[in-house]
Amino acid sequence: MRVRTGLDRWQEERFRALEGKRFGVLVHAASVDQHLEHMLLLLRKHNRTPVRVFSPEHGLFGEVQDMVPVEEARDPLTGLPLRSLYGPTPASLRPRPRDLEDLDLVVVDLQDVGSRYYTYFYTLKYLMEEAARMDTRVVVLDRPNPLGGVKVEGNRVRDDARSFVGDAPLPNRHGLTIGEFAGWIAATESIPVDLEVIPMQGWRREMHWPETGLPWVPPSPNMPLYETARVYPGMCLLEGTHLSEGRGTTRPFETFGAPYIQPLELLEALQAWDLPGVTFRPIFYVPTFQKWAGQRCGGLVLHVTDREAFRPLWTGMVILRVVAAQYPEQFAWRTTTYEYVDRPLAIERLLGARGLHQDLLQTDLSRLYEQMQQEAEQFDRERQPFLLYP
């Protein structure tokens, strides 16, 4: 039996809750039902017409690359006004008062991937904050966390390292659905929003994506597969370096490297760490865009062999430590603009704490990870009242 998402439940009820309402929707490419019909087309089928469509980073159809502003436009499928919540400035991340003042509610249907760096949680948070000011209701149609809802991994974001890749005190792998996040963040940050979550039916916390029976639709250009999401809590850290994280290849985040890396040399160094649940395959590749575009890179491909034993954050931390040790003259942190700002460094925002990147290279890595896991365990205890599923 397939999991029934919040969207599946509402469309089976012919969107009765929207009758007579002036509403907007916040959706993207993965806002589809179990038969792959998009929410906007389902609404049209049931004669429910949004006043306004909002889209997050990457645009309505996920065609725009990361950190590329999305223009205001009209939805080419329906002709509806389209308001981008990822434009050229930080202010564009929030809906304007005039975007909400004529709405009774905004319906949110976004697929998250289970890692705190993924920006859709914060798009929802900013919407909730602005909706509270305008007395506009927010309804979240819940969807599965592809990584399940049991395991939590990593340290929590410090206030001085908050950004659009971490604007909440979450660990790297949080184990929340987007509906659970909405309830948790509303309480944690005292957002006085009129919030309703439409829960899924049939989802259990131990379920990874393959067990849901749902089709995978890439929620962003470089999240093509569930397998990508599986490694993302650790491999996204590479965005804070000069290493290629595999963008411009068919397997981003599972592939990594740089022109100076010798794959067999790196493989031998990583094997000495005996990382659980993963093996590495040597590779040479040429990224078609972004870091090292058009240049031949040596590197490795991650293959998860045991998803329960695999620790994605620990794996990403070890990879950074080993590459920096093997290639001290070439390895470097990213210093260019990242998600609108230059400081703190990208790696500090991804790690959720200033200076933690230096500890990652210089201190006892196992001890550091243990300290991070203590924060994860604290979060696990705090999130319990907001969990919607067994």
- Cα–Cα distances (Å) from 247 to 71, 136, 146, 253, in that order, read 23, 38, 21, 7
- Span 219-247, pLDDT tens digits: 999 999 999 999 999 999 999 999 999 99
Q: What is the mean pLDDT of residues 48-64?
A: 91
Helices (H) and strands (E) in the chain, counts: 12, 10
Question: Average pLDDT of the chain?
Answer: 96
Rounded to two decimals, the pTM is: 0.97
* C-alpha closest to that of 258 among 287, 232, 278, 237: 287
C-beta of residue 221 within 8 angstroms of C-beta of residue 63: yes
pLDDT at position 75 is 78
> Does residue 331 surpass a pLDDT of 80?
yes
Which CATH code for domain 226-354?
A: 3.90.1150.140
Q: How confident is the model at residue 78 (pLDDT cuts 50, 70, 90)?
A: confident
pLDDT at position 74 is 80
> Does residue 59 surpass a pLDDT of 90?
no
Q: How is residue 385 written in tokens?
A: 């009242």
Question: Which range (23-32, 63-72, 76-85) has the least confidence?
Answer: 63-72
Per-domain residue ranges for the chain? 6-215+382-386, 226-354
pLDDT at position 341 is 87
> 6-215+382-386, what's its fold?
Rossmann fold (3.40.50)
Q: What is the mean pLDDT of residues 151-159?
A: 98
Whole-angstrom distance, CA of residue 315 vs CA of residue 234 = 6
Q: How confident is the model at residue 69 (pLDDT cuts 50, 70, 90)?
A: confident
* C-alpha closest to that of 270 among 260, 286, 285, 256: 256
- Span 81-122, pLDDT tens digits: 899 999 999 999 999 999 999 999 999 999 999 999 999 999
Q: How confident is the model at residue 263 (pLDDT cuts 50, 70, 90)?
A: very high
Q: What is the mean pLDDT of residues 273-295?
A: 97
The phi and psi torsions of 137 (rounded to 5 degrees) equal -75, 150
> Does residue 67 surpass a pLDDT of 90?
no
pLDDT at position 148 is 98
> Does residue 305 surpass a pLDDT of 90?
yes
